Structures are given as structure tokens and as C-alpha cells.
Chain A
């Protein structure tokens, strides 16, 4: 419980800092912080279920390092999770970030102009769709 309070406060501060800067211009930035608010999972039978990212063990905040090619959780989350990015491709003002891990394949479409992110993760027998907003990490400092 004691550990959860500072984590909560750090997360809250990250939200407060990120909120006014949500959907920022991230053009030319290597280190980006993205937040995911809602996830929808769709199955082969056509049905879909939505909910907060925690329901799928997806972190609220994810740091994208385009230079190091990694997706990482924030320190404030208390989780130390990381996934390598296998492919980064830029097409106009969009960046496609792709990779696979543990039988899951992911694609993030990042709009550099607006900082909006569209996430798709293919699981076995279902697909997760998520939407988020990103901001350059240096804008938080």
C-alpha cells in the first residue's frame, strides 16, 4: 500500500504533465511518451469487448525510444517491462512501429503532426485495438 501511493502520485503527475500536451507534435523526436486510455478486443466471431488497458495487462504509459528501438514502461508504473522494436518506417508524417514478442505481433501508427497513436496487437484468436496520444519526453522536463 505504501509503495502504491508514490507510484500513484508519480503516475498522476505524469498525467497532469501529459494532459495539456496531449496529441503533441512529435516530429523529429526520438523519445516519446504515449498513453493508452481504452482498449478494444475483437474476436473471430465478430464480438468485441472494451475496457481499460489494465484488463489486458497493457501499461497506461509507454515510452517509445526510436533511437534505441524499444518500447518501455515508465519507472512510475513500478513495472520493468520492455519490448524491442523490430521495424520503424516513416511514410510522410506517419511512423510505423512494428515488432513481435511472445506470440503477439504489434503495430503502432504514430502521427508525427498530431502525436496521436493507433495501436493494433494480434493475439492468438483475437486482435486488440487501442488509441493513445503521445508527447516528446523532453517536453516533460
Chain B
């Protein structure tokens, strides 16, 4: 289903090329080809016409999707979603350590503990006391938890981003091999 939609998008992108194809072999049409949308540069080494190039690119796109199991348009959407999720996770991680140590943040807050909601006017200075003795105070532990949560989010986001980039790179290689087999010069 995704592949069909992606292929349809690819064909649509290439349609401009097809419609405006010039009879002059290999002459740029001014339209972005399917390959160009993926930052893959393709030159018709054998003098293929623009419409032929578009058909070849669409064919190679389909072949590369089958060969790698990755669709760059899906991967792009997936990367955007992952970035949004990472942003949310970052915010949650930042909030994890806030609360009792944030002077003024709970001032005026309604409901809850009377004594428990009292905060130090300088929590960092207070925490230094525990730190000096090598004690793991609650506030310091919260800060460590916050840092760990943030690191975890960044690490996970980095891994996901790297995996997506590797999938895209794999797809481009496959796409390029296919086009080279059809006498195109390909760089990406």
C-alpha cells in the first residue's frame, strides 16, 4: 500500500518531466526528476531521452524498493515522526527533574502538601552540602535521573536517525546500481 502510494508520488514527480520532455536527447528539461528529489544526480550517458530517463528512474525506484525493503519517502516521513517523538521525549526528560528543586515554580500552586511543597531558595547551594559529603541527596538524584533520561533520549534518537540514514544510503546504492546498468552515470 505504501509502496503503491510512493510509486504514485514518484510517477507524479516525474510526470512533469514526461510532459515537458524535449526531443533533444539528454537536454535538461528544467523539471526535477525522481532521482533529483532524492539528491541523486543522473546523467543519460547513452543519450537517453528525458521521458526514457523518467521511465527508467521509476523502474529502478521500484526495483530498489524491492531489493532493499526500504522506501525513501516512507523513511523520510518516519524520520520526521521520530524527530517529533524525540522532541516530546526530551521535554518529558527535562520535566522529570523539575518540581521541588525549582524555586518559584510551585509558588502559588494549589492543593497538596503544606510543608512538602516548601522549596529552598538556592537548591544548588543546599545540594552542594550533600555532594561535599558524597551523599546522594534526593535533589541531586533527581538531577542525575534527568540527565540520564536526556542522554537516553538523545542516544535513542541518534540510533534511530543513523538507522534511517543507513537505510536511505542503502536504497540510493541500489537505485544507482540499477540506473548504471541502464547506462546512466550516477552520483549521490
A-to-B contact residues, CB < 8 Å: 41, 43-45, 47, 49, 51, 54-59, 62, 71-73, 78-83, 99-104, 106, 121, 123-126, 128
Contacts and interface: CB of A to CB of B under 8 A. Distances in A.
A124 B127 contact: yes
A121 B114 contact: no
Given A82-B114, A83-B116, A102-B115, A57 B106 contact: yes
Interface stretch (B1-9, B69-77, B118-126, B173-181): B118-126
A81 to B, nearest CB: 4
B103 to A, nearest CB: 8
Interface residues of B, number: 31
The 3 closest A-B pairs by CB, nearest first: A102-B116, A125-B126, A125-B129
Given A43-B126, A124-B126, A81 B121 contact: no
A104 B109 contact: no
B100 to A, nearest CB: 7
A123 B127 contact: no
A83 B128 contact: no
A62 B106 CA distance: 18
Contact of A72 (B114, B118, B125, B127): B114
A59 B126 contact: no
B115 A71 contact: yes
Nearest to A41: B121
B129 A43 contact: yes
Contact of B117 (A45, A54, A81): A81
A99 B130 CA distance: 22
A82 B110 contact: no
27 contacts: A43-B122, A43-B125, A43-B126, A43-B129, A44-B128, A45-B129, A47-B125, A55-B107, A56-B120, A57-B117, A59-B114, A78-B110, A79-B109, A99-B115, A101-B113, A101-B114, A101-B115, A104-B116, A104-B118, A123-B120, A123-B126, A124-B120, A124-B129, A125-B123, A125-B129, A125-B130, A126-B126
